[in-house]
Structure 1
Amino acid sequence: MITVENLTKTFPSQGGPVTALAGVTLDVRAGTVCGVVGPSGAGKSTLARCVALLERPDSGSIRVDGTDLVGLDGSRLRAARRQIGVVPQGDSLLRQRTAAGNVALPLESAGMPAPQRRSRVAELLDLVGLTDKAGNYPDQLSGGQRQRVAVARALAANPSVLLADEPTSALDPETTGSVLTVLDRARAELGVTVLVVTHDMAVVRRICDDVAVLEHGRVVEHGRVLDLVSDANSRTAATLLPEVDQSAGVAGNHDRVADVVLVGFAAVGALLPEAASRFDVQLALLGGGLTRLGETPVARFRVGLTGERADSALEWISDTGAVVVRTPKGPQGVAA
């Protein structure tokens, strides 16, 4: 759906050009939510603005549904931009317009007749859960409600791509949840491909199928969230999985100590007890915990195994699909 190849973008400054994007390559699968994360200044917002052609890249290509947007201009560029809805960072609603009026704005600009426009606005306000706020002005809405109206406005023209730049910035956890639910519904019910720029990994944990990590204008990690958390060395795993006390079990009396990552209902619920029973070992949970990535339960535990077949138990757990990193009586772990 979205393919970015070797994208570069620099900005002038008194000290010389500042590189915001340095050869960024990224694929976003159709119908998914992809989170673009990284520290402040990593190039996240610049990437989103380039994908929306609000900024022209210095070089590289941006293809949406196979069309290279960088080479377009005039009417062809305007038509392509209509396929990309943008939820800008911060409060972007017009204060003199009601919630319904803000959602209707792009439809008015497109010349949609009033009856169809009213119907479309009603559909979108229902999607974002604000039907009862249609006549309210922005100052009569909470921050989360204003963001949901902004999402509805961005979806008004039936785009195939939705770009959301820090959509939960400065919102409390409950309000953040309502905004993320709306973005997820846009993907699930409208089939929109969503690119979310965020500094908050909780956004990735809640709604993202894929994630791209940017640092200094470069993609340093990219892939499916559930694949990346299964990689013991990934930054995504280090950030999203429950923490493990690195000293847990190192000085204990267990024959083997290992960190185990389990993905999915069956693995989280049954794999460790089955290993203990199958190989006649005692298995103790020494640390870690459970979390949820989207609808999928994921666990990272440090486990201690005692028994003659402890090695065989760890090998079986690994062969069954879990990630196992052995932790001997020392500072290094070895993947099973």
Structure 2
Amino acid sequence: MITVENLSKSFLGDTGPVVALEDVTLDVPTGTITGVVGPSGSGKSTLARLVALQDRPDSGVIRVDGFNTAALDPRRLRAARRRIGVVRHGDLLPQRTAAGNIALPLEQAGVDGPQRREKVGTLLDLIGLTDKAAFYPDALTPGQQARVAVARALVGDPGLLLADDPTKDLDPDAEAGVLTVLDRARAELGSTVLVVTDDAGVVRRIADDVALLEGGRVQESGHLLSLVQDPGSQVAQALLPAIDAPKSAQARHDRLAEVVLVGFAAVGALLPEATTRFGATIAVVGGGLTRIGETPVARFLLGVSGSHADQALAWIGERGGLVRQRATGPQGIVAA
């Protein structure tokens, strides 16, 4: 649907050119939710504007449905822009109801009344606000306003839904509602979704694929569940539970190992079975459990004791766990 190839963009600052993006390449697979995550100033919003075809890059190519947008004439460029629904926060028209705001793009496109009402009704159901159709924006909560903004972006059946910082300034319940709507757009409407955010938790909850943007460059990208199993992944370090255990606890075990387990079966069964099979004592010294989408993922620091501790850890690794042993000194003391 959308492919970004070697994209660069600079702006003129007070002291000269400022590089916002440098040689950025990104693929947004059709039918997925792709997250671009990075700190403030990393170039995320610049990338969002370029992908939305609201600005032009200094160099590089943006392809929509395989077409190089730089080579399109004005008419075809307008058509390409219509293939991209942009979630715009804070600009709901105060004089129009929730339904009226969603319907506005259809009115501008000349869609007749019955078709508009049917489409708006479908989207109000998608965002869970059918009972708020006649409410004006000032009578809606910030989270409800954000969901209306998502519905308005979806009303033209775009191939790509682009959400730049969709949960900004929302409380946890409102954030969950917006992310649920984005996920439903993908699942029920077949939308391809690109979410740009500085909140790694947003990516962890809904993304299939992720790109880490820092200093205007993509530092890492790929399928999220694959990256979290890569011991050198910056994405894994950002998304998985931190391992923080006192040395006094670490010193009580024959072996120490960092273990990443993915999936219900691995998280729920591997450690108890290894304990039984090898007669080892396995204790969780640090780390914790999270979810990547609906998939449970654990990162634990394990303390393993017993004559078959090494075999137990090897067995866990053979069954899909990512196991990295830590060096220990005499009597199980962690080596410096």
> What TM-score bracket applies, with the shorter chain setting the length?
over 0.9
**Percent identity over paired residues:** 63
The residue aligned with 1:17 is 17
Q: What SS does the aligned partner of 2:221 have? A: strand
Q: Does 1:153 align with 2:140?
A: no
- For 1:161-187, what per-residue CA distance to the aligned partner results, in whole angstroms no more than 9, with x for missing partners? 000011100000000000110000000
- For 1:110-165, what per-residue CA distance to the aligned partner results, in whole angstroms no more than 9, with x for missing partners? 11111111111111111111111111111111111111111010001100100001
- For 1:239-284, what per-residue CA distance to the aligned partner results, in whole angstroms no more than 9, with x for missing partners? 2111211545675232211011100000000011112222222212
Q: What SS does the aligned partner of 2:271 have? A: helix
The residue aligned with 1:85 is 85
Distance 1:170 1:325 in 2: 38
Distance 1:249 1:207 in 2: 38
Distance 2:111 2:335 in 1: 66
Aligned residues: 331
Distance 1:251 1:130 in 2: 51
Tell me if the contact between 1:262 and 1:268 (Cα under 8 Å) persists in the aligned partners. yes
Q: Displacement, 1:331?
A: 5.9
Structure 1 unpaired stretches of 5+: none
The residue aligned with 1:32 is 32
Opposite residue 263 of structure 2, the aligned amino acid is G
The residue aligned with 2:70 is 70
Q: What SS does the aligned partner of 1:17 have? A: strand
Tell me if the contact between 2:245 and 2:285 (Cα under 8 Å) persists in the aligned partners. no
The residue aligned with 1:99 is 98
Tell me if the contact between 2:21 and 2:46 (Cα under 8 Å) persists in the aligned partners. yes
The residue aligned with 2:110 is 111
Structure 2 unpaired stretches of 5+: 329-333
The residue aligned with 1:282 is 281
Q: What SS does the aligned partner of 1:93 have? A: coil
Q: What SS does the aligned partner of 1:146 have? A: helix
Opposite residue 27 of structure 2, the aligned amino acid is D
Distance 1:304 1:31 in 2: 41
Tell me if the contact between 1:250 and 1:328 (Cα under 8 Å) persists in the aligned partners. no
Distance 1:307 1:105 in 2: 68
Q: Displacement, 1:325?
A: 1.2
Distance 1:251 1:117 in 2: 63
The residue aligned with 1:311 is 310
- For 1:52-90, what per-residue CA distance to the aligned partner results, in whole angstroms no more than 9, with x for missing partners? 1011111111112212223223110111111100013x3
Which 4+ stretches in 1 moved above 4 angstroms? 246-251
Tell me if the contact between 2:250 and 2:256 (Cα under 8 Å) persists in the aligned partners. no
The residue aligned with 2:130 is 131
The residue aligned with 2:331 is none
Tell me if the contact between 2:250 and 2:285 (Cα under 8 Å) persists in the aligned partners. no
The residue aligned with 1:215 is 214
Tell me if the contact between 2:245 and 2:286 (Cα under 8 Å) persists in the aligned partners. no
Opposite residue 78 of structure 1, the aligned amino acid is R
Distance 1:251 1:228 in 2: 27
The residue aligned with 1:47 is 47
Distance 1:153 1:282 in 2: 56
Tell me if the contact between 1:33 and 1:208 (Cα under 8 Å) persists in the aligned partners. yes
Q: What SS does the aligned partner of 1:56 have? A: coil
Distance 1:71 1:275 in 2: 59
Deviates more, 1:187-196 or 1:252-261: 252-261
